[in-house]
Chain A
Amino acid sequence: MEQSFAASLETQCAKRGRLGLVYAWIAVLWDTVRHAAKERHATWSLAPRRRSGTYWESIAQDAKLAVRRIRKTPGFTIVAALTAALGITVTTLIFAIVNACILRPLPHIVDPQDLAFIHREFASRGPARIPISYPDFIEIRERTTTMLDVAAVIPEVDFIIRIGDGLDREIMGAEVSENYFQLLGRRLVLGGGLDPADMASRNDRVVIGHGLWQREFGSDNSVLGESMQIDGRSYTIVGVAPPSSSWGMVSGTIEAGVWIPMKQSRRNDRTQAALILVGRAVEGQTIDRIQAELETVGASLAEANPTAWQDQSSEPARLVALTDLQSRMPSGARALPSVIMYVVLVGLTLLITCSNVANLLLNRALKRRGEIALCLSLGCGRGRLVRQHLIESVLLFGLAGSLSLLLIHWQTQLLASGRSFYPFAVDVTVDPAVVLFAAAITVISGIVFGLAPALQASRPDLMSTLKGTGKTVQFRRFGVRNLFVLAQVAGSTVLVAISALMARDIQRVDDLELGFDAQNAGVLSLDLALRDYDEQRGRLLLRQITERCEGIAGVDGVAIAGWVPLSGRSWGWGSIAPEGYHVGRNESPWANWNPVTPGYFRLLGMPILRGRGFTDQDDAAAQRVMVVNQAFAERYWPGQHPLGKTVVLDDGATPVEVVGLVRNAKYRKVDFVNQHASPHFWLPWAQQPSLSVELLFKTRTDPAPLFVAIREQVRTLDRDLPIKGLERIESVTATALLEERIAAAALAGFGLVTLFLAVLGIYAVMGYSVLERTRELGIRLALGARPGKVVRMVVLESLGHSAVGIVIGLCLAAMVARGIRALLLGIGSLDPVSFLGSTLLLGLAAATAALLPALRASRVDPVVSLRSE
């Protein structure tokens, strides 16, 4: 060997000179590493190789054996595979959704990797994305050299559409620059789209979404050239976008209904910053170069337009470019609680289901211990046995994984079929990434959760097992099985406690007094600005609508307001100066406000505690007045009588006198979280009119049947005035907490499923432990122990094991509850009732699971059990 090495060096030196020496050393090193590993491997696998062919042949043999075993016990296989499939399905489905929403590039876009999404940021405000104004967009577009072109989009704009003589409906869409579709490079299903060269497309052209085309036009190809009304104006349809086009929707979950060119009013206004820009990089330019260029462009824009580019602390904003993927990452801490919740949910479900399967595998392995002991004593290696078990568990999980993919496929199809009812844009499909993820989860869980049973099973006490007196696993000892039960109980406790917390939270919120009465009341939303009404004509129209509505039989009263409490919209008035209130440093007195007509407080049942409400005399010519709520009075005039005090609003007009005090109510979602009501004041609509109004009407019975008549009255007065909404106030306020309700329902479902799985797990373990101790229990009974006492002993033992899991689970649940604090509205994160309740429930579940085996144990015939050993 030495000589051949020396000879090799010599040959190479002679051939290549000095370089040859280096070459020879590298080659020898590589040669040694390669062949040494091969030789070592050959020694490792020498035993199975000699006995049964190659290494792979032996693996194939094991796989065959595993398949045979799996087929021989269909009951076990079905239960284990279904349980594992549940965990894998949940995990993979959540991944599929994340994959569709965030990871997968936007659909229907040419080279999405070349796109840069541009917004503004203030360094002091973290990663909050601040939009850009139209004039700034034009300047950025002209100055850039790193991007071929830049387009602009205002995503998620609510439009009111009317097709033909149909009803007005609100739909989400986007305002885009004319080059938007060209820049993204996607051909439309129909039509040419907006044309940058066509000046007419600047105002009355529209591209409609695929869903809208299907729903409203029955996928009619002759839709091009037809007109539809958007926000009271007529638009000509020039294109149909491909399906699930969420482009335009930055958050991307809702399919855009319409894309219209930027409205004219935005084009010269630098203060209206609502645009997000999309640029396409020049070939070879990276996002870093684009960012570098934008820094300079942004700095010069900020210098030229300080008012639009600086915040209150005169810090200038900077331009930030994000890649396609970055732009879809949830920004900021707002999404964090939900993310925590879903990760915990998914992780725990997977843990619990896999632990169950592991327990089943372990049980089976223990039943086979005689066979295993025989194999071991005949000279089979432990490694081979472990491998056999692992292959079996991976195959079982593989079965579960395939089942999961099938389930997910069905679910995604279900989701897709729902698209004709709801504009859900995310195309959740089983693509290679999802399959890969499912495969990885399957193999990893198969190995992780199969390893412990495999190791435990391959270690029986040979002598006693072969003699047939084997008590291989002492249940009293803290073994692998207990670890699985512990994990299951702890996981279930977390889920049950958290779902109890959420359910109680929602219940508490429902029980809370809203402070106003929304029963038998409806609301009609109008935006007069869409039809270019001025203040005077607007007043006239609203008076006419009010009078006509009051004339409808069944309507008890009508009032006008700027917004409806708990509707998701609210108006705030910053920098007010209440009389006599000393404003602290860095403080800016603030309150919610709402312009309302006289009937408002009576209509919504908000009691006036002191003073008066508004009257018809409080008109534009009269002294300015306001009504405040208790929170306003307590906040700005603690311990004082609020009536007669004045407030200076920063609108330059005369101070406003307080004439009434109204009881506190809930106005916004955040009022549920805050212990104290938020300060609120009302101004007479006549003194502070707005063109966007909510017309509230009180009815004797359900308001819904009157909607047709009300819509008719509005149409008689102005045919083309778009109706933004017409619904019960109760339905408006119910949707305020929709997100929380869905989360609570989802969690409750998960809680129940995992509780069931945990009960199954405990049952399996206790059942087996009783079986193991048949002899001991028989002796106890033979010596005179009463059956009741045996039952109590077994149940208590199970409770003892579960108690540790419950305690661990409660600690984890407390941690999770702190993480999702932001989702809780009416309840503390450490609500004792939820935690105590779930402890009791889990204890009860553990006791029930142990009861059946315990009863069986108490009926053991001492003679039979003693003879059996």
Chain B
Amino acid sequence: MSKPAARKPLKPHWFQILLALADHDLHGLQIMEEVSERTHGAIHLWPGMLYGSLKAMLEEGLVVETAMPESEQVAGGRPRYYGITEYGRKVLIADVRRLSNYVSAARAKSLLRGSDA
């Protein structure tokens, strides 16, 4: 497992998934909805992409499967819940810092004005 800061930048949809899981555990559909809502539909995680990514992220230790919360009992199938790991959180923070550095640099060059800023 490489050091969070030494990793390559996260793929955009991995970043979105980790961001969605940053404050609470979610199941697949919830992740999809959260990302879609937060980005105003700009990013849509299709099922293949979502579950494929979750599987790969599980292998890399960025997320873990968590127990289903008592409050979220759903009729029918049992959805799998995912949570961010400590390592995943560090990777996410490292990536956010990297992005924020970029943004600061762009701001210093007065690239962002008015509502953008």
Interface residues of A (CB under 8 A from B): 1-5, 7-8, 11-12, 15, 27-28, 31-32, 34-36, 38-39
Report if A4-B28 is in contact (Cβ < 8 Å); known contacts: A11-B44, A15-B41, A39-B55.
yes
Residue of A nearest to B52 (CB): A35
B47 at the interface (CB under 8 A from A): yes
Chain B residues with CB below 8 A from A39, complex form: 52, 55
17 examples of A-B residue contacts, CB within 8 angstroms: A1-B51, A4-B28, A4-B29, A4-B47, A7-B29, A8-B46, A11-B44, A12-B44, A27-B44, A27-B46, A28-B46, A28-B47, A31-B47, A31-B48, A31-B49, A38-B52, A39-B52
Structural contact, B55 and A4, CB atoms closer than 8 A: no
- Taking CB atoms and an 8 Å cut-off, the chain B residues in 52-76 that contact chain A are 52, 55
Are the C-beta atoms of A7 and B32 separated by less than 8 Å?
yes
Whether, in the assembled complex, B36 has its beta carbon less than 8 Å from a beta carbon of chain A, the answer is: yes
B33, CB-defined interface residue at 8 Å: yes
What separation, in Å, do the CA atoms of A34 and B13 have in the docked complex? 15
Q: Which residue of chain B has the shortest Cβ distance to A12 in the bound complex?
A: B44
Chain B residues within 8 Å of A31, by CB: 46-49
Q: Which of B29, B48, B55 contacts A3 (CB 8 A)?
A: B29
A2 to B77, CA, bound (A): 10
Q: Which residues of B contact A15 (CB under 8 A)?
A: 41
Tell me the nearest residue of chain B to A3, going by C-beta: B29
User: Whole-angstrom distance between the alpha carbons of A36 and B48 in the complex?
Assistant: 7
Question: Which chain A residues border B47 with CB–CB below 8 Å?
Answer: 1, 4-5, 8, 28, 31-32
When the two chains form their complex, are residues A7 and B44 in contact, meaning their CB atoms are under 8 A apart?
A: no
A4 and B32 contact, CB distance less than 8 A: yes
Q: Once the chains bind, are A11 and B46 in contact (CB under 8 Å)?
A: no
Q: Mark each residue of chain B from 63 to 105: 1 if its CB lies under 8 Å from any CB of chain A, else 0.
A: 0000000000000010100000000000000000000000000
Shortest C-beta distance, B27 to chain A (Å), equals 9
Task: Name A36's closest neighbour in chain B (CB-CB).
Answer: B48
Which residues from chain B sit less than 8 Å from chain A, CB to CB?
A: 28-29, 32-33, 36, 41, 44, 46-52, 55, 77, 79
Known: A28-B46, A31-B48, A39-B55. 15 other contacts (CB 8 A): A1-B51, A3-B29, A3-B79, A4-B29, A4-B32, A4-B50, A7-B29, A7-B33, A8-B32, A8-B44, A11-B44, A12-B44, A28-B48, A34-B49, A36-B48
Decide if the interface of chain B is mainly helix, strand, loop or mixed.
Answer: helix
Measured CA separation A32–B79 after assembly (Å): 20
Looking at the assembled complex, report how far the CB atom of A847 sits from the nearest CB atom of chain B, in whole angstroms. 63
Provide the bound-state CA to CA distance between A27 and B43, in Å: 13
Tell me the bound Cα distance from A594 to B73 in angstroms. 112
- C-alpha gap A93/B46 in the complex (Å): 53
Report the minimal beta-carbon distance from A719 to chain B, rounded to whole angstroms. 86
Q: How far is the CA of A32 from the CA of B50 in the complex (A)?
A: 11
Contacts of A11 in B (CB 8 A): 36, 41, 44
A11 to B40, CA, bound (A): 11
Question: Taking the nearest CB of chain A, how far is it from the CB of B12, in angstroms?
Answer: 15
A28 to chain B, nearest CB (A): 6
User: Measured between alpha carbons, how far is A625 from B55 in the docked complex, in Å?
Assistant: 104
Hey, which chain B residues are within 8 Å of A32, CB to CB? Answer: 47-48
Question: What chain A residues lie within 8 Å of B29 (beta carbons)?
Answer: 3-4, 7
**What chain A residues lie within 8 Å of B51 (beta carbons)?**
1, 35
Residues of A within 8 A of B41 (CB): 11, 15
Q: B residues within 8 A CB of A34?
A: 48-49
CA distance A39 to B44 in the complex (A): 20
Instruction: Please measure, in the bound complex, the distance between the C-alpha atom of A194 and the C-alpha atom of B100, giving whole angstroms.
Output: 70
Task: Please tell me if the beta carbons of A1 and B28 are within 8 angstroms of each other in the complex.
Answer: yes
Q: How far is the CA of A9 from the CA of B79 in the complex (A)?
A: 19
Closest chain B CB from A23 CB (angstroms): 10
In Å, the complex CA distance between A12 and B77 comes to 24
Asked if A35 meets B48 with Cβ closer than 8 Å, knowing A11-B41, A15-B41, the reply is yes
Closest to A33 in B: B48
Q: Measured between C-beta atoms, what is the minimum distance from A22 to chain B in Å?
A: 15
List chain B residues, Cβ under 8 A from A2. Answer: 77
Chain B: CB-nearest residue to A2: B77
Q: How far is the CB of A13 from chain B (nearest CB, A)?
A: 13
